[in-house]
C-alpha cells in the first residue's frame, strides 16, 4: 500500500497536474502545438540525454548486459505486436502509431524517479536506468522518425529527417567528452542546466495541449490494446528475458522495472510533429500513465521474487 500511495502521490498525480495545466492553457489561449513539439524534440530532448550521459558512471560490462537485454526484449515485443496488428488489419499510419506507443516508454521523467524510490538511490541500478534512457532517446529519434515518415515521404527525404535529429549527435558527443575527460565550460554548463530543468514541465504541458485540442474519437479498443502491451506484456517479457539471460539481483530487478513504465512522451511528440495519429498517441500515453498506478505497483511487488 505504501508503494501504491508513493507512486500515486510522487509520480502519477504530479504528471497529471502538469498535463491538466497544458489542457487548460490550450482551451484558454489556443497554443501552437507544433512549436511546443519542436522545442521538445530539437532542444530539450538532446540536452537531457547529453547531460545525464555526461554525468553518469557506466562500466563496459553493465553497458553490454543492458543493451543485450534491451535488444532481445524489444525484438520479442515487436514480434508480438506485428502479429496482433496484422490480425486487426491496421493501415500504415495506425501501425506506426500503435507500435510507437508500445515500444517507446517513459524511461526518463517517470522511470528515473521510480528507480530512485524502489532502489533507494542505488547508483548501480541508476546506471542501468540511464542506459535504458539513452536507448529510449536514441530509438525515437532514429527509428521513430523514420517510421512516421517512411510511408509518406521518399527514402532520401526520410533519411534527411532522421539525420537532422540533434539527439542522434548528443549521445556520441557526451561519451566522447566524458571519455576524454573534457570539462564543459561553466558559461555553457549553466544554460544546459536551465534547459535540463525545464524539460519535464515543457514535455508534459505539450501533452496537455495536445489532449486539450483533440477530438476524442479514437476506438477505445485500440488504446486498451496499446496499454495492455505496454503495461502487461512489456514487464512480462522483461521477467522472461532476465531469466533467459541468467541475470539476477539488482541488475535483473532494475531491468524488469525499466520495462514496466507507461508510454513515452516521445510517441506523442513524434505524432504531433509529423502528423501521424496524434489523437491516438495522446490518449495512449495518458491512459497508460493512469493505469500504471496499479500495474507498476504490482511489478514492484513481484521484484522480491528475483534473486
Element (H, E) at 100: helix 92-103
Say what the pLDDT of residue 11 is.
Answer: 64
- How far, in Å, CA of 91 to CA of 85, rounded? 9
Beta bridge partners of 263: 105
- Banded pLDDT at 102 (limits 50, 70, 90): very high
- In this structure, what C-alpha cell is assigned to residue 270? 513524434
Between CA 298 and CA 199, with CA 207 as vertex, the angle to 5 degrees is: 90
Smallest Cα–Cα separation from 262: which of 279, 283, 241, 246?
283
pLDDT in tens, 223-246: 999 999 999 999 999 999 999 999
Residues with Cβ within 8 Å of residue 37, at least 6 apart in sequence:
206, 269, 272, 273
105 secondary structure, DSSP code:
B
| pLDDT in the model for residue 25 | 92
What are the cell numbers at 285? 500515453
Cell 522511470 maps to which residue? 111
72: which 3 cell numbers? 532481445
Predicted confidence (pLDDT) per residue in 58-95, tens digit:
778 888 999 999 999 999 999 999 999 999 988 888 88
CB 175 within 8 A of CB 195: no
Contact, 31 vs 25, CB < 8 A?
yes
DSSP calls for 150-216 = HTTS-HHHHHHHHTT-THHHHHHHHHHHHHTTPPPPHHHHHHHHHHHHHHHHHHHHHHHHHHHHS--
pLDDT at 216 (0 to 100): 62
Position 252 scores a pLDDT of 95
Give backbone dihedrals phi and psi of 147, rounded to 5 degrees, phi first: -65, -40
CA distance 36 to 278: 14
Amino acid at each position: 500500500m505504501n508503494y501504491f500511495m508513493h507512486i500515486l502521490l510522487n509520480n502519477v498525480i504530479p504528471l497529471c497536474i502538469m498535463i491538466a495545466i497544458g489542457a487548460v492553457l490550450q482551451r484558454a489561449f489556443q497554443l501552437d502545438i507544433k512549436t511546443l513539439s519542436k522545442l521538445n524534440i530539437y532542444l530539450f530532448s538532446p540536452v537531457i540525454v547529453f547531460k545525464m550521459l555526461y554525468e553518469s558512471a557506466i562500466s563496459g560490462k553493465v553497458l553490454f548486459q543492458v543493451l543485450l537485454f534491451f535488444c532481445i526484449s524489444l525484438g520479442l515485443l515487436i514480434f508480438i505486436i506485428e502479429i496482433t496488428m496484422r490480425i486487426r488489419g491496421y493501415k500504415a499510419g495506425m501501425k506506426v502509431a500503435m507500435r510507437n506507443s508500445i515500444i517507446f516508454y517513459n524511461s526518463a521523467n517517470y522511470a528515473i524517479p521510480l528507480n530512485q524510490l524502489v532502489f533507494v538511490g542505488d547508483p548501480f541500478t541508476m546506471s542501468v536506468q540511464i542506459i535504458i534512457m539513452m536507448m529510449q532517446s536514441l530509438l525515437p529519434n532514429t527509428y521513430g522518425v523514420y517510421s512516421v515518415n517512411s510511408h509518406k515521404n521518399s527514402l532520401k527525404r526520410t533519411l534527411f529527417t532522421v539525420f537532422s535529429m540533434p539527439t542522434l549527435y548528443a549521445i556520441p558527443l557526451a561519451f566522447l567528452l566524458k571519455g576524454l575527460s573534457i570539462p564543459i565550460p561553466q558559461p555553457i554548463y549553466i544554460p544546459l542546466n536551465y534547459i535540463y530543468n525545464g524539460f519535464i514541465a515543457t514535455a508534459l504541458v505539450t501533452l496537455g495541449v495536445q489532449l486539450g485540442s483533440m477530438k476524442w474519437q479514437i476506438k477505445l479498443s485500440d488504446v486498451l490494446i496499446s496499454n495492455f502491451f505496454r503495461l502487461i506484456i512489456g514487464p512480462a517479457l522483461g521477467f522472461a528475458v532476465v531469466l533467459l539471460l541468467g541475470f539476477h539481483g539488482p541488475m535483473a530487478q532494475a531491468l524488469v522495472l525499466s520495462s514496466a513504465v507507461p508510454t513515452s512522451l516521445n510517441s506523442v511528440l513524434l505524432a504531433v510533429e509529423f502528423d501521424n495519429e496524434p489523437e491516438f498517441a495522446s490518449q495512449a500515453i495518458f491512459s497508460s500513465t493512469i493505469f500504471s498506478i496499479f500495474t507498476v505497483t504490482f511489478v514492484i511487488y513481484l521484484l522480491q521474487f528475483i534473486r
